[in-house]
Amino acid sequence: MIRFNNDYNVIAHPQVMAALQEHAQESYAGYGEDEWCARAAELIRERTACPQAAVYFLPGATQANYIVVAAALSPVESVICADTGHIFCHEAASIENTGHKLLALPSKNGKITAAQVAEEAARYYDNGTPEYLTEPRLVYLSLSTELGTVYTKAELAAIHEVCARYGMRLFVDGARLGYGLGAAECDITLQDLAALTDVFYIGGTKCGAMFGEALVITDKTLQPRFKAYMKQNGAVLAKGWLMGLQFCALLQDDLYFTITRRADEMAMQLRESFLTRGVPLAVDSPTNQQFVVLTEPQKVKLAEQFVFEDEGDSVRFCTSWSTTEEDLAILMAAVKRL
């Protein structure tokens, strides 16, 4: 069976593994207070052109999401997000478990618009800030989204502008940031992202690392005591240098974007093969996640040879750094034969 079910089904990119192996006998200070984490943080501050950013490494994306919310909001404040947002649909109410309400907006292909965000904010801010409503103070976006789509720089800037107008922070879930920024049609750079958001992360787990997300807090008012929030929620890894090391490897020679761009390109080939065969796209995605509509017999046929994710209305195929040219060719040939 060949796995196209997700982008985290192999341990780590060989260069990441090599880096871990190379330093396997060395001892380090714990809890992220080591030189690798410092170096990776410095690299990220350079790449984002954001010298004042605080950078922390967390083992997982769910942790990153809910800890940012816990640190950013008071109990009477809430989060605006898409109704397809990972935090709304896939994380077992981790946000509500921190005591916060999600104001989920109807999304289109995984995206929400500045106009929608403005309307939701206005319900509270332009309506007398009634005490029986929560105060939306954080806007959560995913890039790429859960459906593989991306925001353009203009769209992101427009949402940023609404946030600035109402004093809300903008948070970008970057679990698949490499695939998002790596997409041919995405005109956002890491520097843009740092400039237009208050906090975001560079996802490692799904983009070549063994595990780990690099959280970049550009807003200085969100930085104080952030590590205490991480500690309280079990997100300060004892052997923190494991993540510093991995991100150093991923950021060297732009490995991170090299591998995610390649996965996006493979996905574009796959997309083309589905379209050629007449299989409808459920979503028009420019990134490594492709959602297509298969007939039941087509599902059965492909399931003989491939692992993919069945979401009911559609199925998802993912490429990743570990997808081989050979496996992709086999899949595309099978699609052709459908």
When the beta carbons of 131 and 253 are compared against a copy of itself, the nearer one is 131
Tokens of 253: 């020679």
Residue 20 or residue 338: which is nearer to a copy of itself going by CB? 20
Q: Which of 15, 109, 113, 233 binds a copy of itself (CB under 8 A)?
A: 233
Considering only residues 48 to 67 of the shown chain, the ones binding a copy of itself according to CB under 8 A are 59-63, 65-66
Q: Is 55 helix (H, G, I), strand (E, B) or coil?
A: strand
Q: Does 30 bind a copy of itself (CB under 8 A)?
A: yes
CB closer to a copy of itself, 233 vs 314: 233
Nearest distance in Å: CB 178, a copy of itself: 15
* 39 binding a copy of itself? (CB under 8 A): no
Contact mark string toward a copy of itself, 187..206, x via CB under 8 A: ------------------xx
8/247 with CB nearer a copy of itself: 8
Q: Is 233 exposed, middle or buried (0-12, 13-18, 19+ CB in 10 A)?
A: middle
- Token pair 């490594």 is found at 288
| d(C-alpha 32, C-alpha 72), whole Å | 22
Tell me, rounded to whole angstroms, the distance of Cα 288 from its chain centroid: 12
Q: Which member of 135, 146, 198, 264 binds a copy of itself (CB under 8 A)?
A: 135
Nearest to 81 by CA among 137, 140, 138: 140
* By CB under 8 A, residue 35 contacts a copy of itself: no
Q: Is 259 in the site for a copy of itself (CB under 8 A)?
A: no
| Cα distance between residue 236 and residue 70, in whole Å | 15
Measured CA to CA, the distance from residue 313 to residue 148 in angstroms comes to: 16
- Residue 61 CB, shortest distance to a copy of itself, in Å, is 8
Q: How far apart are CA 338 and CA 331, in angstroms?
A: 11
Length, in residues, of the chain? 338
